[in-house]
Structure 1
Amino acid sequence: MAGKKKNKEEQTRKSKKRVGTKEALEISESIQRPTEAKVTRIEQLKSSAPYGIALGIIFAIALYIRAVLPYKSVFLADGTVRFGGNDPWYHMHLVHALLHNYPHALFYDAHTIPPYGVYIHFGPLYDHTIALLSIIAGLGHPSSHLVDVVGAYFPAVLGALVVIPVYFIGKHLHNRGTGLLAALIIATLPGQFLSRSLLGFTDHHVAETLLSTTTILFFMLALRSARAQNLSFKDLNRNWHVIRYPLGYAVLAGVAYAAYQLCWPGAPLFGAIIVIASIIAYIAEHIRGRTVDYLTMVGITAFVVELILILPWLHPDMGFSTFYYSWFHAAVTLGAIAAFVLMHAISRELNRRDVNPYYYPVLLIAGTAVGLALLSVILPTLYHTIVNSPNMIFARHTGGANTIAEASSMLMDRSGHLSIGKNSMVYGNFGNCFYVSIFGILILGYYIVKRWKPEEILVLIWTAVMLLSIYGQNRFAYYYAVNVA
């Protein structure tokens, strides 16, 4: 008995020793993990440093081209700041009016189109940002000259900043080298993007390019991370580590999209791009038997955030106008949210019933047709606005409208013939990069058919829509410049 007791005590001691050793190892590993994580982060920073430096140099080149080279033509010897066109002067008029009545901005200008006046359709964010920067630079009391200086530099800085989202889009589509090349191209590309981001051209167009590109970037990152994490609604209650990056990027996408809308009332165009790309992604994922939860979560999050941010700026008395901040902008966002909900519900129900997945796109088409039919009866004004909106952007103008410089087609000459040769407007804006971009579209299409990645679908739809846009109006060349890069 004594021997057995002794053996038990020895086994207990050994067991405790093993447990103690195991606990010690676990503690040691837990201590080492943060160290290893730190080492990994340090290594990542070291490997990223050359690319960060290169991107900084490209940013400096872009800023030099935009701010230094045209300096003498903007800041005159007598101290005058000369802005580059009618709209820049008008923006500065709005900025000065805002600063004299801060934070209240002009919404109706009684001195434009006399004797009637006109509602101002410019987005408020661009002018408010210049005003706020002027207040900060002037320590609360900016002089008129300081305001003009801030306003003159503003488009040049925004134009240089575009290299950052362009780099990251290129990086995540392919690699860092591609991102740097794209950033260098957009930094030095001639044409409308350059002309609209020069010192003194204080118009909102460059902000459109920066914020629309940033919106696409964050939506891309949200889709990539959500798909990689296999994000589902179950993760909302139990796994913060899984949802923080996808939904964080989705929130940033919503913020960027709202900021873009508050710079240009036509921003729902990009909402449509995101929805169209999402529809294709839903169909691809459903047919391939993958979950569509992540698409729904990312889409709804982004559009809800955007809706919350733009609601205070809407003017109900504008009805469903596309030129002013009206119920149209809220309706488009609500329609997008409804589309995400319905596409998810249909996919889930078909999976539950084990229905042939190829019925899914058929049901989506039928649902869209029914929805438009109901809308035409319930809200005919909104229906006609939605149906006619594409013609405003993509259709080639004829007659008097074709004589407006920025409203004429970039791909067609005034006689109606295709013009993309060396003497064409499109070549003057993009050079040989235009032809390379067409080839790039074909390559991207090939990869999509092969891999069906939602972020690649998004970029392809974005590029295709912008290409159609410059067919309708050459003003959209400052958008397509990013796609060319």
Structure 2
Amino acid sequence: MVAFLMRLISYSTVTANGSINLLGYDSFYHMRRILYTTFNFPHPLNFDSYINYPAGFEVGWPPFFDFLGALLAKVLGGGNPDLYTTEFAGALLPVLLGVLTIIPLYMAAAAIFDRKTALFGALVFAVIPAHVYVSRFGAVDHHVAETLLSTSAYACFILALKWAREGSLSLTSLKNISSEKKLIKSLAFAVASGLFFALLIYTWIGALVFVSFIVLYAFIQTIIDLKAEKNSDYLLICSTVSLLATLLFTIPLSAGSLRPGLEMSAMYLSWFQVFYVFSMLVGTLILWGFSLYISKKGLDWKYYPAVLILISVAGLLFLKTFSAESYAFVIEGMNFFLGKGEYISTISEALPVFLTSDGNLTFTPILGSLGLCFLTALGGFFLLGLEWRGEKSKPEGVFFLLWSAFFAYLMLSQRRFSYLFAVNAAMLTSYLLWVLLDSFDFETEVKKLVKSVPTHGNNAMFTSRAEKETKSKKSEKETKSKTKSKSKINSSGSKQNSQPDYFKIVSSLALIGLVFIPCIWAGVAFAKEDGLIDPIWKDSLTWLGASSPETSYYLDPSGTPEYGVLSWWDYGNWIVYQAKRPAVSNNFQTGVDDSSHFFLTNSEEDAKAIMEKLKVKYVITDNLMAGGKFGSIVKVAGENISKYLNVQTVNGNGGLQTIATAKKEYTQTEVYKLHQLDGSNLGNLRLVHETTAPEVDNDTTSDVKIFEFVSGARLSGTADPGQSITATLELRSNTGRKFTYQNEVTSDKNGSFEITVPYSTENKADGVNALSTYSLKAGNTTVSEIQVTEKDVLEGNRVEVKIPESK
């Protein structure tokens, strides 16, 4: 119930104004896929012509999470859900999956530790901020499903190991397995782990790394067993069964999404996943066979890791020689989990957890996502390592420690993976807390406290269970310790050892508070955090969807729509879902090369060529693209920020501060001309709508601007050769803000000139309107009252301007 309520704190925000307001960026595209799957059930959206416009894009996300959202919508809508019901189901799905994750967490913790640790761990997990964040109502993203399925797979594998160890599972015991319940349970849980692995592969394209972990664990545990001269049959049987089940479940689950022929791709569901799992299965059998050989020959256990590492290196070299594509897939996957990649450094959530984007040390992300649980988890990890070393180690315990170390590494390399480590942090925190609480005799002192509370009359019904359990033993204890007790009776006639130690109780509660209060505080903050589409962006995209020409194939994105919208990739999913318009760049980092070069170019001809190639009709900018996101645009374009900005670190009142001073190269970029100069000096882009945030410090620059790509009217004439000619027009935007458009050219050697202008002088009912006619200045001569029609602008008509000869 606590977990459910924590994740529903965002309910009122998400359902405000009678609609579903999604959280984040990827939620918008997941909801698009949920809608498509709901109305085309059970078929997923695999190719979308509304992203990576105009080429379209094959979506790499496996469809299971979106399928669950569509299925939930079907259930809530009685088989025929409307738009609101479908969006509500999508918003509710993360909450349900988040709460369900408590079940496998409890199962794993109970198998590794005990039930009280498992229960306490579940309570920690219920409030841990990192998981609350990805499972909030309205956070429609597959990360919560990753956590549920990976935890379920590992919990089942842990139970398989536990029952295998207790039942002494071996090749010999398999002959009589029908009479051994523990062995049947072990194999059943191994099969169940394989099912969850297959569902995980069908949910996240990077899931194979979780499957690989089984082989890594089997390798390490076999080394431990060989060193201790123990049989590893139990381990390798569980691993083989789990991987075989994964393989068998993966094929039918992915059959409908597999690419044609034998094409393999690590970026999409294909035969690559089947081949990879099969390779892991073969690798496990090799581990098993070689361990049997080592044991049979009585060889030194050190041969085992040495030879297998050589085999692994040889396998990579073989793959590189005979299948360069598969080798590239493996290396690309490794780089991803190492936090390396072409665009990863431009994604804030992919940064190392202890580093800022500038490479400075920071503790804010780790404290915000885990509170003090990171420290308690770290303490619990090392304490467990000490407790389980040597002969005391258990296979399931080793698995848990390696699992925790693996997920901790993922989080350290990319902060977004803190939602995965949240499971392990909760269990480790619970373990450490119970160790500390036991040192304070917490349970005993609480029982004393409850026992010391007087119960009279009707209050007797509140007598604690702990007190009732001890009543039957009271007489016996009193008899055995009668002599000793006499010396401890105080003047009031009560026994001193029956009184609670309030110092221990308060200390214990303080420890619990140190863990839970920061978690609840941050978790509530995360749950209440808006995370919504920026209101000014929503206003602009609502206008775009209502006022721009409608595009085709939105609900059946197989054909190519009529035009696209160009902005930075961060906003692509918003454009597609909110405005229902195709986006050149979206959050899959599609079209980023063209987008970055467009916004950085200082050539209007180059910008025009990009727009024509991509069939762009609208360009959208905001303050961040001209400010905080500018560095990412520069990096993606392969440029250096120092080319555009002079960045210096100086001492300020608050310590070291970074100050960026614009260079001339920055003011010549397309993004600067559009957003800061309203398109002045550009002839083919005109401002058609802007949304302005509340005025701050008299700064009237709007936050989001939409520009339309037009042919532009051509003001033509003759003047003195080599003379500067400037066209000027006064305008008022839809917000009432007045601004001036100017464009300037130089006449050629014959005195001929042509200025392309994007605005007409005809007024419209709304939008951006001219407050004057065009004026043209050539030297000391000014020509006014130049009329330009909308037809002239849209068709690129020539408008002759006669400039009087200078005297």
TM-score of the two chains, using structure 2 as the length reference: 0.50
Deviates more, 1:381-390 or 1:282-291: 381-390
- Residue 419 of structure 1 corresponds to which residue in structure 2? 362
The correspondence for 2:235, drawn from 262, 283, 295, is 295
- Hey, what's the Cα distance between the residues in 1 that align with 2:198 and 2:112? 24
- Hey, what's the Cα distance between the residues in 1 that align with 2:388 and 2:265? 36
Could you tell me which amino acid in structure 1 is paired with residue 61 of structure 2?
F
- Hey, what's the Cα distance between the residues in 2 that align with 1:86 and 1:358? 50
8 Å CA contact 2:102–2:122 kept in 1: the answer is yes
Could you tell me which amino acid in structure 1 is paired with residue 152 of structure 2?
T
User: Is it true that 1:213 corresponds to 2:148 in the alignment?
Assistant: no
- Hey, what's the Cα distance between the residues in 1 that align with 2:315 and 2:114? 41
- Residue 222 of structure 2 corresponds to which residue in structure 1? 282
- Hey, what's the Cα distance between the residues in 1 that align with 2:209 and 2:228? 29
- Hey, what's the Cα distance between the residues in 2 that align with 1:417 and 1:88? 30
User: Is it true that 1:150 corresponds to 2:93 in the alignment?
Assistant: no
The correspondence for 1:201, drawn from 117, 125, 139, is 139
Could you give the per-residue CA deviations for residues 310-348 of structure 1, whole angstroms, max 9, x where no partner exists? 224253459543322133322321121112101111121
- Hey, what's the Cα distance between the residues in 2 that align with 1:252 and 1:480? 22
Write the mapping of 1:171-186 to structure 2, written as runs, cut at 5 A.
Answer: 171-186=110-125
Deviates more, 1:445-454 or 1:404-413: 445-454
Could you tell me which amino acid in structure 2 is paired with residue 260 of structure 1?
L
- Residue 373 of structure 1 corresponds to which residue in structure 2? 317
Write the mapping of 1:62-73 to structure 2, written as runs, cut at 5 A.
Answer: 62-67=3-8, 69-73=9-13
- Hey, what's the Cα distance between the residues in 2 that align with 1:95 and 1:400? 27
Could you give the per-residue CA deviations for residues 143-164 of structure 1, whole angstroms, max 9, x where no partner exists? 3322222211111111122222
8 Å CA contact 1:394–1:468 kept in 2: the answer is no
- Residue 109 of structure 1 corresponds to which residue in structure 2? 48
Provide the secondary structure at the position in 2 that maps to 1:113. Answer: coil
Deviates more, 1:333-342 or 1:238-247: 238-247
8 Å CA contact 2:388–2:394 kept in 1: the answer is yes
- Hey, what's the Cα distance between the residues in 2 that align with 1:445 and 1:382? 37
8 Å CA contact 2:153–2:196 kept in 1: the answer is yes
- Hey, what's the Cα distance between the residues in 1 that align with 2:101 and 2:312? 36
8 Å CA contact 1:170–1:178 kept in 2: the answer is yes
The correspondence for 1:446, drawn from 363, 386, 389, is 386
Provide the secondary structure at the position in 2 that maps to 1:283. Answer: helix
- Hey, what's the Cα distance between the residues in 2 that align with 1:142 and 1:400? 38
Q: CA deviation at 1:83?
A: 1.6
- Hey, what's the Cα distance between the residues in 1 that align with 2:370 and 2:397? 23
CA RMSD of aligned residues (A): 2.0
Could you tell me which amino acid in structure 1 is paired with residue 423 of structure 2?
V
8 Å CA contact 1:215–1:253 kept in 2: the answer is yes
Write the mapping of 1:43-442 to structure 2, written as runs, cut at 5 A.
Answer: 60-67=1-8, 69-77=9-17, 79-190=18-129, 192-242=130-180, 243-312=183-252, 313=254, 315-316=258-259, 319-395=263-339, 401-420=344-363, 424-442=364-382
Could you tell me which amino acid in structure 2 is paired with residue 481 of structure 1?
A
Could you give the per-residue CA deviations for residues 77-133 of structure 1, whole angstroms, max 9, x where no partner exists? 4x3122213322221211221122222221111111210111111221111112222
Deviates more, 1:356-365 or 1:220-229: 356-365
Deviates more, 1:80-89 or 1:219-228: 80-89
Q: 1:308 to 1:239 in 2, by over 3 A?
A: closer
Deviates more, 1:244-253 or 1:268-277: 268-277
Unpaired runs of 5+ residues, structure 1, are 1-59
Q: CA deviation at 1:171?
A: 1.8
- Hey, what's the Cα distance between the residues in 1 that align with 2:317 and 2:28? 45
Higher helix share: 1
Q: CA deviation at 1:251?
A: 0.7
8 Å CA contact 1:396–1:409 kept in 2: the answer is no
Percent identity between the two aligned chains: 30
**Relative contact order higher in (CA < 8 Å, ≥ 6 apart):** 1
Q: CA deviation at 1:210?
A: 0.9
8 Å CA contact 1:230–1:294 kept in 2: the answer is yes
Q: CA deviation at 1:389?
A: 2.0
8 Å CA contact 1:276–1:461 kept in 2: the answer is no
Deviates more, 1:461-470 or 1:427-436: 461-470
Q: 1:92 to 1:300 in 2, by over 3 A?
A: same
- Residue 19 of structure 1 corresponds to which residue in structure 2? none
Could you give the per-residue CA deviations for residues 152-184 of structure 1, whole angstroms, max 9, x where no partner exists? 111111112222222222222211121122111
Q: 1:86 to 1:222 in 2, by over 3 A?
A: same
Q: 1:452 to 1:375 in 2, by over 3 A?
A: farther
Q: 1:267 to 1:378 in 2, by over 3 A?
A: same
Higher strand share: 2
8 Å CA contact 2:339–2:351 kept in 1: the answer is no
Could you tell me which amino acid in structure 1 is paired with residue 272 of structure 2?
F
Could you tell me which amino acid in structure 2 is paired with residue 381 of structure 1?
E
TM-score of the two chains, using structure 1 as the length reference: 0.82
Q: CA deviation at 1:235?
A: 2.7
Deviates more, 1:320-329 or 1:209-218: 320-329
- Hey, what's the Cα distance between the residues in 2 that align with 1:275 and 1:447? 25
Unpaired runs of 5+ residues, structure 2, are 427-807
Provide the secondary structure at the position in 2 that maps to 1:239. Answer: helix
Could you tell me which amino acid in structure 2 is paired with residue 177 of structure 1?
K
8 Å CA contact 2:218–2:236 kept in 1: the answer is no
8 Å CA contact 1:251–1:302 kept in 2: the answer is yes
- Hey, what's the Cα distance between the residues in 1 that align with 2:29 and 2:346? 23
Q: CA deviation at 1:231?
A: 0.6
Q: 1:419 to 1:150 in 2, by over 3 A?
A: same
User: How many residues are aligned here?
Assistant: 419
Bigger Cα Rg:
2
Q: 1:124 to 1:241 in 2, by over 3 A?
A: farther
Q: 1:443 to 1:326 in 2, by over 3 A?
A: farther
8 Å CA contact 2:31–2:87 kept in 1: the answer is yes
Provide the secondary structure at the position in 2 that maps to 1:325. Answer: coil
